[in-house]
Structure 1
Amino acid sequence: MSTSTNITKRAYLHDAIDKELLAILRADGRASVSKLATMLNISRGTVQNRLDRLVSSGAILGFTVRAHDELETDVVKAMMMIEVVGKSTNQVIQKLRGIPQLTKLHTTNGNWDLVAEIRASDLQEFDRVLSDVRTIDGVLNSETSILLRSV
Structure 2
Amino acid sequence: MDDTDRDLLALLRKDARMSSAALAQKTGVSRGTVANRLRKLEDAQVIVGYTVRLRPEAQPRQIRAWMGVRVEGNQTRAVIANLLGEPGVESLHDTNGRWDLLAELRAETMAELSQVLERVRLIKGIAHTETSIHLTTYR
Higher-Rg structure is 2
- TM superposition score normalised by structure 1: 0.75
Which deviations, in whole Å up to 9, do the C-alpha atoms of 1:20-49 show, x marking residues without a partner? 212111111111222212211112222222
Distance in 1 separating the partners of 2:6 and 2:116: 34
Percent of aligned pairs with the same amino acid: 44
Q: 2:107 aligns with which of 95, 101, 120?
A: 120
Q: 3-state DSSP class of the match of 2:98?
A: coil
1:129 aligns with 2:95: no
Moved more, 119-128 or 33-42: 119-128
What does residue range 134-145 of structure 1 map to in structure 2 within 5 Å?
134-145=121-132
Report the equivalent of 2:3.
16
Q: Structure 1 residues 129 and 15, CA, compared in 2 at 3 Å: closer, same or farther?
A: farther
Q: Which residue of 2 is the match for residue 56 of structure 1?
A: 43
After TM superposition, give the deviation of residue 60 of structure 1 in Å. 2.2
2:22 matched to 1:35?
yes
The one of 42, 57, 75 aligned to 1:88? 75
Q: Taking structure 1 as reference, are residues 103 and 44 closer, same or farther at Cα in structure 2, changes over 3 Å only?
A: farther
The number of equivalent residue pairs is 138
| Paired amino acid for 2:112 | E
Which stretch of the first structure deviates more once superposed, 71-80 or 97-106?
A: 97-106
Normalised by the length of structure 2, the TM-score is: 0.80
Partner residue of 1:68 out of 28, 36, 55:
55
Residue 44 (structure 1) aligned with residue 31 (structure 2)? yes
1:96-127 per-position Cα deviation (integer Å, ceiling 9, x unaligned): 33445433322222221011122222223323
Secondary structure of the corresponding residue to residue 20 of structure 1: helix
Q: RMSD of the alignment, in Å?
A: 2.3
Which amino acid in 2 is paired with 1:124?
A
